[in-house]
């Protein structure tokens, strides 16, 4: 799966789940500062990523992510180690 495919799915999920505009969810968007996501939102996102990838997404792999692009990179790494 490419990073672009991961980004598109994540963007669509964030628009649906968190009622964000598609234009706001860019690779550079900061989860906390720009998108105003909190820890509960992060858990929701982790659950979605597990469903999307079919793999358990360890929360520690998302611990240091700051941007949407960081999430995409973390998921891509997870899928690459399969």
Q: How confident is the model at residue 62 (pLDDT cuts 50, 70, 90)?
A: confident
Token pair in block for residue 32: 């906390």
pLDDT at position 26? 98
Question: What are the pLDDT digits (tens) for 3-39?
Answer: 999 999 999 999 999 999 999 999 999 999 999 999 8
CA–CA separation, 66 and 54 (whole Å): 23
**Beta bridge partners of residue 22, listed in sequence order:** none
Fold of 3-21+30-80: 1.10.1200
By the 8 A CB rule, do 79 and 17 touch? no
By the 8 A CB rule, do 15 and 22 touch? yes
Q: How confident is the model at residue 81 (pLDDT cuts 50, 70, 90)?
A: confident
Where are the chain's structural domains?
3-21+30-80
């Amino acid at each position: 799966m490419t990073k672009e495919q991961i980004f598109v799915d994540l963007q669509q999920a964030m628009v649906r789940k968190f009622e964000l505009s598609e234009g706001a969810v860019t690779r550079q968007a900061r989860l906390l500062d720009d998108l105003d996501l909190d820890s509960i939102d992060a858990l929701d996102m982790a659950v979605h990523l597990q469903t999307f990838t079919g793999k358990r997404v360890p929360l520690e792999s998302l611990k240091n992510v700051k941007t949407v692009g960081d999430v995409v990179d973390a998921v891509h790494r997870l899928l690459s180690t399969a």
